[in-house]
Amino acid sequence: MIYEKLEIYIAKERLNKYLNLADGNKGKAIELYRINLKHSSEMYMLLSCFEVFLRNAINIQMAK
C-alpha cells in the first residue's frame, strides 16, 4: 500500500530501479529508496561545503 502511494508521487521509472535491485520486494525497494535519500542528503552537505570553499579560493586568487 505504501509503495503504491509512492508511485503516485515518484515516477514509476525511478522506483522500478529500486524494485529491480530488491528482486521485486516492494518493502525492500522502499528501504533502498530511503537509504539513497539519506546518502544523498549527506552528500549534499559535503557538496555545499566544497562549493563555498572553491568559490572562496577562486575569489582569493582573483583578488591577487
Integer Cα distance of 34 and 47 in angstroms: 20
Are the CB atoms for 32 and 22 separated by under 8 Å?
A: yes
**Site of grid cell 502511494:** 5
DSSP letters, 1-37, are: -HHHHHHHHS-HHHHHHHHHHTTT-HHHHHHHHHHHH
Which amino acid would we find at residue 12?
A: K
pLDDT of residue 58: 97
- Residue segments in the chain with a per-residue pLDDT below the cut of 70: none
pTM beyond cutoff 0.75: no
